[in-house]
Amino acid sequence: MREYTEKIREIAKKLLESKRVDVFIGYRKGTVAMMNEPVLIREPEKVGLLHWDSHCGLNLCNYLTKRTEKIGIVANGCNSRNIVTHILENQIKREQLYVVGIPCTGVIDHRGVQRAVQPREIEDVEDEGDAFVVRAKDFRETFKKKDFLRTNCAVCGHRNPVLFDEMVAEPVEEEKEVRPYHDVESIEKMSSEKKWAFFTQLISKCIRCYACRNACPLCYCPTCFVDESKPQWVGKSTDPTDTMTFHFLRAYHCAGRCTDCGACERVCPVGISMRQFTKKLNKDAEAYFGWEAGLRLEERPPLDVYRPDDYNDFVR
Amino acid sequence: MLKGLLEHIGLEPGRLQFSWISSAEATKFVEVAQGVAKEVNALGPATRLVKRRAEVG
Say if CB A87 and CB A257 are below 8 A apart.
no
- Cα–Cα distance, A279 to A183 (Å, whole number): 9
| pLDDT tens digits for range B7-37 | 999 999 999 999 999 999 999 999 999 999 9
Collapsed DSSP state (helix, strand, coil) of residue B18: strand
pLDDT for the residue numbered A313: 87
pLDDT above 80 for B53: no
Backbone angles phi, psi at A173, to 5 degrees: -70, 135
- Quote ipTM for the complex: 0.89
- Cα–Cα distance, A53 to A3 (Å, whole number): 10
Is A234 at the interface with chain B, CB within 8 A?
A: no
Nearest CA in chain A to B18: A315
For the beta sheet containing A139-144, the strands, ordered from the edge strand earlier in sequence to the opposite edge, are A122-128, A131-136, A139-144
- The helix/strand count (H/E) of chain B reads as 2, 0
Partner-chain contact B48 A280, CB within 8 Å: no
pLDDT for the residue numbered B52: 78
Phi-psi region of A128 (alpha: psi -120 to 50; beta: other; left: phi over 0): beta
Q: Which of B9, B20, B52 sits opposite A315 (nearest CB)?
A: B20
pLDDT above 70 for B57: no
**Nearest CA of chain A to the CA of B17: how many Å?**
7
| pLDDT tens digits for range A275-288 | 999 999 999 999 99
Chain A to chain B, count of Cβ pairs less than 8 Å apart?
69
Q: Which of B9, B20, B51 sits opposite A195 (nearest CB)?
A: B9
Residue B21 DSSP label: -
Give the strand pairing for A131-136 and A139-144.
antiparallel
Choose from A195, A286, A306 for mutation: most chain B CBs within 10 A: A195
Q: Which of B12, B32, B35 sits opposite A192 (nearest CB)?
A: B12
Collapsed DSSP state (helix, strand, coil) of residue B4: helix
Partner-chain contact B51 A188, CB within 8 Å: no
- Cα–Cα distance, A151 to A106 (Å, whole number): 10
pLDDT for the residue numbered A105: 95
pLDDT for the residue numbered A262: 96
Is A306 at the interface with chain B, CB within 8 A?
A: no
Residue A302 C-beta-side C-alpha neighbours within 13 Å: 23
- Residue numbers in chain A where pLDDT is lower than 50: none
Partner-chain contact B1 A193, CB within 8 Å: no
Q: Where are the alpha helices (DSSP H) in chain B?
A: 2-8, 26-43
Q: Which of B1, B3, B10 sits opposite A199 (nearest CB)?
A: B10
Partner-chain contact A316 B18, CB within 8 Å: yes
Residue spans of the domains in chain A: they are: 1-177, 179-316
